[in-house]
Amino acid sequence: VNRPAKKKAVPAPPWPTDLEHRLLAEVLREGDQVIDATCGNGHDTRFLARCVGPSGRVLAFDVQAAAIGAAARLAEESGLRDRIDFFHESHAGLAERAAPESIAAVMFNLGYLPGADREVTTRPEATLPALEAAARVLRPGGWLCVMAYSGHEGGPEEAAVVEGWMASRADLLWRVARYGMLGTLSPAPVLLLAVKPG
């Protein structure tokens, strides 16, 4: 029978969230300590917990009790609860929860929790001090990853402030990058990356 040759999947640029996970999966090692600064429903927390293995630790922050509850349930169902410390508090104080230069990666997923009150969103007043704190607790060679959104009220302003802060790390010899899709129908997230000098 003359069957058409099976089509090979064409490689395409990954979505920013996908790229972020691929990079961190490559960088993180068993036993690492990492931070999810905006745990929300816990999908990134679960991803990080898998990356750091049974001897690693994830510190997960959120200001909404519902988010912490959902993330803790997801972790429990995934058999990962014992690798995670949840903090029902603002990420602005994260340096009080981790030793200086001890953390392999810090993730921020800015904006509001899907399906919850859109009034509760990340804001530059807390995000900027949290970025400063993240810079202190990251170890040399540690990765700071921020997913920034511009589709909600206050989003474009916050994204611009965060991007400015990230870009200013280049003066301090951090390696900094920005990645996003072009030509999408609705505003797509932008991934900002900064790696602390080793």
Ligand X SMILES: C[S@@+](CC[C@H](N)C(=O)[O-])C[C@H]1O[C@@H](n2cnc3c(N)ncnc32)[C@H](O)[C@@H]1O
Is 70 in contact with 114 (CB distance < 8 Å)?
no
The three-class DSSP label of residue 183 is coil
In the complex, minimum distance from the CB of residue 31 to ligand X, in angstroms, rounded to a whole number: 23
In the complex, minimum distance from the CB of residue 138 to ligand X, in angstroms, rounded to a whole number: 17
Residue number with CB closer to ligand X (68 or 176):
68
Residue ranges that bind ligand X, judged by CB under 6 A: 38-44, 61-64, 67, 90-92, 109, 111, 113, 120, 122, 126
Three-state DSSP string of 65-117? HHHHHHHHHHHHHCCCHHHEEEECCCHHHHHHCCCCCCEEEEEEECCECCCCC
Residue number with CB closer to ligand X (81 or 175):
81
How does DSSP classify residue 158?
H
Residue number with CB closer to ligand X (25 or 172):
25
The three-class DSSP label of residue 28 is coil
Chain position whose Cβ is nearest to ligand X? 40
In the complex, minimum distance from the CB of residue 176 to ligand X, in angstroms, rounded to a whole number: 22
How does DSSP classify residue 5?
P
Residue number with CB closer to ligand X (132 or 173):
132
In the complex, minimum distance from the CB of residue 171 to ligand X, in angstroms, rounded to a whole number: 26
